[in-house]
Amino acid sequence: MATVYEAEDLRHHRTVAIKVLRPELGAVIGPERFLKEIEVTANLHHPHILGLIDSGAIEGQLFYVMPFMEGESLRARLDRERQLPVGDAVRIAAEVAAALDYAHRQGVVHRDIKPENILLHDNHAMVADFGIALAVSEAAGQRLTSTGLSLGTPHYMSPEQAAGDGVVDGRTDTYSLGCAVYEMLTGEPPFIGRTAHSVLTAVMTTEPAPVRNTRPTVPEYLDAAVATALEKLPADRFQSAGEFAEALVGPTARTSQRIASSLRTTSTRAGGLRLAAMGVSALVAGVLIGGLIGGSGDTEPDDAVRHFDLLLPGETPVALTGPGPLGFWQPAVALDPDGDQLVYVAPSGATTALAIRPLDRDTASVLPGTEGAYHPFFSPDGDWIGFFVGNELRKIPVAGGSPVTLTTVDRPSGAAWPEPDEIMLFQQDGFEMRRIPAAGGEGESFVLPAQFASPDVLPGGKAVLGHMGSGQFGVLTLADTILRAVTRRGVIPLDSVRLGDLLIGASPKFVTSGHVVFGGEDGQLMALPFDGEALETRGGPVPMVSGLRIEEGFGFAQYDIGPDGTLVYIPGRSQLFGHIAFVGRDGCSIRSRCHAASIPS
């Protein structure tokens, strides 16, 4: 939420830590409300809570000041040692739990307990940033709740936080502390994944492995205490941090009962899991055979996918690092509306350029004047390509010519070209959408109720698909800028989303067959039956292709899909950008589009 600076307090001649909130948070919150809400934090006094020295706003920048602590964070110690002695882990956790119990009794929930916010000073734990997340949430009110953004860190986020629930209580801190204790004992958080999406999915759907599976020397009572803290439902966890603290230092009636219950049900549970696994395997196999692989069955999927090189002559694969020109944090490929040719971001010396390639040929040509380009997209008639360079939006004729600068946008999170004369822009800062003329200009601006990225306009132009920073994907209804999450029950308001309803996905796109295609966890491309007119789901998602590249950060999925089902995607998890794959809908045609995956019928 903030950038931290080490500074000198000139009046008292001491070192302090100044934390400056991110600009997009400051824009949503406003200084008066934040400074009022942070007064609650200033009145927390506990030996294991790092106090607040000052707070304020300068030129719209919100900041707060805390003591500078000698020592290190729990994160630094875990990075060095990975696993802590059981006694040290219990002592640190018990002190943090005591701080949480005190604050909860004052009505303050931390909301972001993690090793980075636990400082180790003079052999004792100190909790930093206490109440800051609460102050941000309360100051922003519905404006932050409705964004779908969850204050917290994915690996330590409770299921109710991950689901975007606006109201959480102290039991969410108990869950987060349970994650930190799990990591202190095993060396890893209970749920890990390549992207935030996969972590959040695991948080909400997967049971953590027992601590003793990794470290048998951990006492049974301690394993049971951690497992109780990590229950999915708040009602099944410890009902106070004080109760968790007690269970950390020795057996309690609740942990002893859990151990006994686990012993009694082990064999029954194992049988049930085996049956469930058999059922899931049969379902997936049936879907793959019936609708995803297609063709006559003479060709194996791996052989049917046509791969070709995206590198230009004389270039070599480059490392993908970040949102700069050589880091394809943004989408890097786009198909034209007819599915005949591909434009992609190609390495070019020390920067990038746009290359265009017909899918029935083996050569590509660079579009002059596109140095530093990222996030290409086509006009609806296929005659122009829009793209970004730095903070500028530009367009260039497909047939060749000079690029035209249309406008500037801070930290773009996507663009779409729904009509010949209109382009839609989305930016992270300020949760803003802009509609600008395709000829250029400022256009209209709208403040959105959420961070929104990778837009795809639905038929009729009344709504836009996209994904949000919290991992859900959703539909933005343009008439009133209402954002709703796409769930297994349909499209419902964000504040109504609950744990069992969430769908997690990156870069959703609508296909005229009546499906939303999106990047799922672990690099799977999924297809969800979807009614674009009624904005309703018509079933559950099924896998199409494995091995899709999904970027870190905002989680853009590197693929595009044409109206006829032609699919192009960047495969693999490698940090090298070198080749691409594409498959067609209707088998091997005269243009060598070999069918390996299609939209399910």
Positions marked active-site: 112
Give the CA angle between residues 158, 88, 189 to the nearest 5°.
Answer: 30
User: Which residue matches tokens 């209580």?
Assistant: 169
Contact call for residues 512 and 561 (beta carbons, < 8 A): no
* CA distances from residue 409 to 135, 377, 392, 480 in whole angstroms, order as listed: 29, 16, 6, 22
Residues 122, 296: Cα–Cα separation, whole Å: 70
Residue 297: CB atoms within 10 A of its CB come to 8
Residue 5 sits at φ, ψ, to 5 deg, of -120, 135
Q: Tell me, what amino acid is at 531?
A: D
Residue 316: CB atoms within 10 A of its CB come to 8
Residue 290: CB atoms within 10 A of its CB come to 12
Burial status of residue 281 (CB atoms within 10 A of its CB: 0-12, 13-18, 19 or more): exposed
Torsion-angle region of 395 (φ positive above 0: left; ψ -120 to 50: alpha; else: beta): beta
The sheet with strand 444-447 has its strands ordered as 412-419, 422-427, 432-437, 444-447
* CA distances from residue 231 to 151, 213, 225, 235, 239 in whole angstroms, order as listed: 20, 18, 10, 9, 11
Sorted by sequence, the CB contacts under 8 Å of residue 591 that are 6+ apart come out as 359, 360, 584
Q: Tell me, what amino acid is at 345?
A: V
Residue 74 sits at φ, ψ, to 5 deg, of -60, -35
Contact call for residues 180 and 114 (beta carbons, < 8 A): yes
Residues 332, 341: Cα–Cα separation, whole Å: 14
Residue 589: CB atoms within 10 A of its CB come to 12
What would you report as the CA-atom Rg of the chain, rounded to the nearest whole angstrom? 26
User: Which residue matches tokens 């986020």?
Assistant: 157
